[in-house]
Amino acid sequence: MKRLLLALGLIVLPLTSHASPEEAQSWGKDATLLERQTAQLINVIDMGRKTAPSEDYILGVSRFGRTASNLAVWNDSKGGPKDLGCIFRGMASESETQTLALLEQSDVLKARETLKRLEGMFSDAQLIAQAAAAQTPTPTLERRHQSETCPMDMEATRAALN
C-alpha cells in the first residue's frame, strides 16, 4: 500500500519550474519537520519496539523529493549556482531511493540505517534551503550522500551561510 502511495505522490506532484525563494524556505521547514519525525522513528527502534513509517510520513518524504526536483529546475532556469541544482537533484533521488529501501526493509537495524541517512539529509536540506532562498553560491560539499554526483562539505556550507 505504501509503495502505491509513493507512486501516487510522484504522479500527483507535477514537476514545475515555478519554484521560488519562498518555496525553498518552505522546503527547508518541511525538512525540519521530516527530520523530527525521522528522529522519532529512530527513537522507537532504539527503545526496542518495532515501527513502520506512517503513510503521511512516506508522502511527506515523497513531496520533499519532488519539491527538490522543482527547486533544481528553478535554480538552473534562473542561472543559480550549478552545485545547488546538483544538490537538489541528488536529494530528490536520495529521497526516492531511501523511501523505497525503507518500505522494503524487514530488518529493523537496516531500517534504522535507512532512517539515519534520511535524518542526515533532512538536516543538510535545512542549510541548503537557506542558500537557495538567498540564492547564494554553495561551496563544494564534503559529506557524501548515496549519490556521489554532488559531494557536500557541511562545514563549508555553514561557513558560507554565516
Q: What is the 3-state secondary structure (H, E, C) of the chain?
A: CHHHHHHHHHHHCCCCCCCCHHHHHHHHHHHHHHHHHHHHHHHHHHCCCCCCCCHHHHHHHHHHHHHHHHHHHHHHHCCCCHHHHHHHHHHHHHHHHHHHHHHHCCCHHHHHHHHHHHHHHHHHHHHHHHHHHHCCCCCCECECCCCCCCCECHHHHHHHHC
- Please give the residue that has the higher pLDDT: either 15 or 67: 67
Position 98 scores a pLDDT of 95
- Residue range 6-27: mean pLDDT, rounded: 65
pLDDT winner (highest mean) among 3-12, 93-102, 142-151: 93-102
Position 139 scores a pLDDT of 44
Q: What's the grid cell of residue 22? A: 519562498
Report d(CA 139, CA 149) in Å as an integer.
14
Position 50 scores a pLDDT of 84
pLDDT tens, position by position, 48-100: 998 889 999 999 999 999 999 999 999 999 888 888 999 999 999 999 999 99
Q: What's the grid cell of residue 159? A: 561557513
Percentage of the chain modeled with pLDDT above 70: 72
Position 138 scores a pLDDT of 47
Domains of the chain: 22-161 (1.20.1420)
Position 36 scores a pLDDT of 98
143 forms beta bridges with 152
Q: What's the grid cell of residue 154? A: 557541511
